[in-house]
Every structure is written in C-alpha cells, then in structure tokens.
Amino acid sequence: MIPAPFEYAAPKTLEEALRLVERHGDEAKILAGGHSLLPLMKLRLAQPRYVIDIGRLRGMSYIREENGHIAIGALTTHAEIESSNLLRAKCPLLAETAAAIGDVQVRNRGTLGGNLAHADPAADYPAALLALDVEIVAASTAGARTIPVNEFFLDMLTTALRPGEILSQVRVTPLAAHTGAAYEKLPQPASGFAIVGVAARLRLGKGGKIEDAGVGVTGLGPKAFRAEAVEKALRGKKASDKIFTDAARYAAQGVEPLADLHASADYRREMASVYTRRALKRAFARAQGKA
C-alpha cells in the first residue's frame, strides 16, 4: 500500500521541530524511526498532512549520566540501548528489554521516544520503565515538563503528551545497592511484540526482606500498567518462592485482559501470573548477585 500524499519537513533543531509541530497541530505527525508510523500510513490508518521528520536532529541520541540519573535522548535506538555499557553497568534491565524488541532491523531503526509515544499495548519498554519508575521529559515551545511514567500511558495508543509536545528525554535512576531487576516476556513469534511481558525490580534489606518492589506489565490490557497489588503483596515480606508465587497471582487484578487471535483473555491472565513469578525470581537472584 502507498501512503496518502503528505508534505515532508526535516527540521535541523528541536526548536524548529517544535515550531512546526505547534503550527500544524493535529494535521502533523512526528516521524522518528518510522517503524510504527510508516506501517500505519501505508495502511492509511494514519493520513497526516505534514510529516515532521525529527530523525535528523542532532543531539537527541545519547545515554549519559546527569545530576544523579541516567538521561536517555528520545532518538536513541533500541540497538544503542541494548549495547550501552553505562546501562549494562547501572541499569541492565533497560539493555535487556531493548534486546527483546523485534529483530535487528527494528532495533537499528526504532527509537525509545517513538516506542513510548506510540504506546502500543504490547510494546516492551513500558513495562521496564514502569518498574523503574522513570521520568519522561516532554518539550514544547513553552519549555519542558517532566511526566512520571506512571501517569504517561493513558490508554491504547494514547499518552499524556499534549498537542505541540515532543518527547525529548527519559530519566532513569540507577539501581540502588542490593537491587535486582529482570524482564520476562512471552513473545508473539512473528513480530516479537509481547503477548505478555513483565518487568520486576526488587530491593532487598537485611535477611532477604523486600524493602521495595516495582512491577510493570505490558501486553495484558489496553495499556501498560504498574501491578500495584503485586508490589503491595511483596513489600516488607521475606523473599521466597512462595511469596513470589502468591504475589504473582495478583498480576492481572483490576485489568480487563485483551483477547485477539494470538491469545485469549484467560490465557493472557494466566500468563501474566506465570511471567510475573519468573521475573520476580530472576530479579531476586540478581539482587543477591547470583545472575
């Protein structure tokens, strides 16, 4: 299929891109890696009048330490996140999650910002970023604002980004001592998208007590979410296989699971528990320095 006609602009600076996005409003679409937008345009499910290509903007692709956190530019590709030595050392969950996305071609072109802004209910990063409790920076001509990731995903393909905003950066707090994190997913075999994907982060205290837990789930419902009932069932308890199994039963609490040709709602609900337990067990092993 061939996309509907559109006008194309390739701004050279973020400021120029922001002015174009503001001027064209709903008639414009931002193009980053194109791996979600272009298929939609080819199917004519998206027919923007203006395509604003931010892929050539300099200075929006980076992973660096800044004021106690790790800042990742929106145009950083999945492959760059997967191979980042800084992330592997200080937040390996993100590198592990990036490595689980699609295939090499998708990882070489797809960007962190595009993946988050698109808010596909089966995308991988949202689970990891929710478990890590990151902040998302949105830029506009009026300046920049930060959005806690827990407030970012509103619904299927819908985020808290406002008209005229460009997602510019993700801020990650490096993992604290005695913390482990892991991502486990049941992939759809052709695309790699998550039928269910669960990221878990555990911080241990004295005697193996769980002091803090973050659990993000993707694929299950219309939007990725933080499994607060699981986290609550873990906090303050002594880590054990039984605790993980018991807590994982709450993974789908309060969520109406999606059903499609890949998996029924019941199957997704069951898999949410299974993959939560697996992610918790691996996060625990890592918190103990065992994996």
Ligand X SMILES: Cc1cc2nc3c(=O)[nH]c(=O)nc-3n(C[C@H](O)[C@H](O)[C@H](O)COP(=O)(O)OP(=O)(O)OC[C@H]3O[C@@H](n4cnc5c(N)ncnc54)[C@H](O)[C@@H]3O)c2cc1C
Interface segment toward ligand X; rule CB under 6 A; list 9-17, 24-32, 221-229, 277-285: 24-32
Residue 223 engages ligand X in binding (rule: CB under 6 A): no
Burial class (CB in 10 A: 0-12, 13-18, 19+), 1: exposed
CB 198 within 8 A of CB 215: yes
Residues 6+ apart with CB under 8 A from 29: 37, 41, 46, 48, 50, 51, 52
Residue 73 engages ligand X in binding (rule: CB under 6 A): no
**CA 45 centroid distance within chain:** 23
Residues 121-150 that bind ligand X (CB under 6 A): 123-124
Interface segment toward ligand X; rule CB under 6 A; list 4-12, 98-106, 233-241, 276-284: 98-106
Site string for ligand X, 241-280 (x = CB under 6 A): ----------------------------------------
Residues 6+ apart with CB under 8 A from 11: 17, 20, 52, 53, 54, 56, 57
Q: How far is the CB of 37 from ligand X (least distance, A)?
A: 4
Backbone torsions φ then ψ of 150, nearest 5 degrees: -65, -15
Residue 11 engages ligand X in binding (rule: CB under 6 A): no
Residues in the interface with ligand X (CB under 6 A) total: 29
Residue whose CB is less far from ligand X, 124 or 203 = 124
Q: Which stretches of 91-201 are DSSP H helices?
A: 92-99, 104-109, 112-118, 125-132
Backbone torsions φ then ψ of 117, nearest 5 degrees: -65, -30
Q: Which of 17, 18, 37, 172 binds ligand X (CB under 6 A)?
A: 37
Cα–Cα distance between 194 and 101 in angstroms, integer?
Answer: 9
Q: Which of 19, 118, 235, 237 binds ligand X (CB under 6 A)?
A: 118
Around Cβ 128, how many Cβ atoms within 10 Å?
31
Q: Which of 136, 167, 175, 227 binds ligand X (CB under 6 A)?
A: 167
Q: Which of 71, 95, 113, 137 binds ligand X (CB under 6 A)?
A: 113
Site residues (CB under 6 A) for ligand X?
29-37, 74, 101-102, 106, 110-111, 113-115, 117-118, 120, 123-124, 161, 166-167, 191-193
